[in-house]
Structure 1
Amino acid sequence: LTGNVASLFLFLVPTYTFKRIIKNKSTEQFSGIPYVMAFLNCLLTAWYGLPFITSSNILVTTINGTGATIELIYVLIFLLYAPNKQKRKILAIFVLVLVAFAAAAVISVLVFHGKNRELFCGIASTVFSIVMYAAPLSIIRLVITTKSVEYMPFLLSFAAILSCTSWFIYAILGMDPYIGISTGVGLTLGIVQLILYFCYCDKKILNKKTFAVEESQQNMDNGHNNDVKLYLP
């Protein structure tokens, strides 16, 4: 239950980002790849939690089914406001995601049975969960390059840590290695993002203050020059 609440919080945090996208009618420097990967991860994890795949994992299915719906809405909004080049890229990845999930679902039902089916779905879920958690690496690179955390919201990194911590404990208690491995990787990357945030958030504020001081000084200088001109013959 704690994992469900934490995951729902994680899924809802980007609403602030998408309010900004809708308001500005632009995706700016935000990346759509993490949301597409999150959509695929939710689909595969929800499938993995179904009773005919694994037992006693129904809560995994319910929260990830909810997450898949939310992430789909994010992806559609992103496609609506993204520039054409980025839109084509995200749309191509989205189509591949749907094909990958459909293929995994069909293969798991027609080819594998019993423990082998659980093994196949567990590995698929783990691999794409790691891909999802690794997707923000492009944002991490942007943060280091620009020395700004504007496009890496604090709440998103914090929510990822809460969610991964809850599910990592769930995996340990339930002896579920597939959920444990993926959330362990996610927890590590979430901590990295949080460290970067604290490294660069003060610099962002400092840069804004410095800009404000310079602008104020420039206005004063301009005003002084204007006063001088008034007394010139």
Structure 2
Amino acid sequence: MEGLILFIGVIGNIISVLMFLAPVGTFWRIVKHRSTEDFESLPYVCTFLNSFLWTYYGIIRPNGGFLVATVNGFGVVVEIIYLILFLVYAPAKMRAKTAILIGTLDVGFLAAAILATWLALQGETRIAALGIICAGLNIMMYGSPLVAMKTVITTKSVEYMPFFLSFFFFLNGGVWTLYAWLIRDVFLGVIIPIPLFF
């Protein structure tokens, strides 16, 4: 059983890495055109916050958390690069909006969540509280492609919703649901399937 859990977790990590790298084409386009055009920063702000908290969750969770922490740690690094590129090439109004989102969610909320769970809670209670926060944030993260869908509808073009990002979100949800079931982690299992419905 341990071998199966490791195998599914490694497959989940590979798919998650592909999901994190799916927007590379978008950012190549942003750098090439030196403009963020009609792209929104919210999905990347939310993904950074989500990845950072799942990394923390994976570190404090005793069994099965290592694979969750490693892939989300990779995601944190990738999202930092995306956010820096977005801030460099965004027009002034979008740059200000993005900076406010980063300050509010990626600094303020993140610091509050980590401090509250670290200082006020211990053991299984800390893990459960952080799991609830992470699960709730997954709703926001998996809802953030709706911003891209709005752009697709208003521009009548699918160029703002990359196929591979949607595809890897779908695969990611399925594999991590199976992993959560195998390691009996309700927080991974309750919310991760959301992309299966997009």
Structures share a fold, TM > 0.5? yes
> How many matched pairs?
188
Answer with 1 or 2: which has the greater Rg. Answer: 1
Residues 1:63 and 2:71 aligned together: yes
- Runs of 5+ consecutive residues of structure 2 not aligned to the other structure: 1-9
Contact in 2 for aligned 1:48/1:54 (Cα 8 Å):
no
In the other structure, the counterpart of 1:7 is 16
Which of 131, 134, 143 pairs up with 2:140?
A: 131
Counterpart of 2:16 in structure 1: which amino acid? S
Query: Per the alignment, in what secondary structure is the counterpart of residue 150 of structure 1?
Result: helix
The equivalent position to 2:95 in structure 1, one of 84, 87, 93, is 87
Q: Percent identity?
A: 40
Shift of 1:157: 0.6
Residue identity in the other structure for 2:45: V
Runs (4+) of structure 1 moved beyond 4 Å? none
Q: Is 1:118–2:142 an aligned residue pair?
A: no
Question: 2:42, 2:98 within 8 Å by CA — same for their partners in 1?
Answer: yes
Task: Give the 5 Å matches for 1:91-170.
Answer: 91-96=99-104, 97-170=106-179
Q: Is the 8 A contact 2:15 2:168 kept in 1?
A: yes
Q: 2-side partners of 1:38 and 1:107: how far apart?
A: 21
Report if the CA contact (8 A) 2:148-2:161 is conserved: yes
**Greater mean alpha carbon deviation, residues 21-30 or residues 159-168:** 159-168
SS of the counterpart of 2:64? coil
| Aligned counterparts of 2:161 and 2:64: Cα–Cα separation in 1 | 35
Residue 76 (1) aligns with residue 81 (2): no
User: How far is the alpha carbon of 1:187 from its aligned partner?
Assistant: 2.3
The AA in structure 1 aligned to 2:73 is G
Q: After superposition, where does 1:169-184 map in structure 2 within 5 Å?
A: 169-184=178-193
Superposed CA deviations along residues 164-209 of structure 1, whole A, max 9, x for unmatched, are 11111111222212111221112222xxxxxxxxxxxxxxxxxxxx
Q: Which amino acid aligns with 1:133?
A: Y
Equivalent position of 2:5 in the other structure: none
Report the Cα distance in structure 2 between the residues aligned to 1:175 and 1:169, rounded to whole angstroms: 10
Deviation of 1:30 after TM superposition, in Å, equals 0.8
Residue type at the aligned position of 1:81: Y
Structure 1 residue 73, shift from structure 2 partner: 0.5
> Residue type of the partner of 2:132?
I
CA RMSD between the two structures: 1.2
Does structure 1 conserve the Cα–Cα contact (< 8 Å) formed by 2:38 and 2:151?
no
Any conservation in 2 of the 1:36–1:93 contact (CA below 8 Å)?
yes
**In 1, are the aligned partners of 2:64 and 2:183 still within 8 Å (CA)?**
no
Mapped contact 1:38–1:132 kept (Cα < 8 A): yes
SS of match in other structure, 1:142: helix
Structure with greater contact order relative to length (CA < 8 Å, sep ≥ 6): 2
Whether the 8 Å contact between 1:53 and 1:114 is mirrored in structure 2 is: no
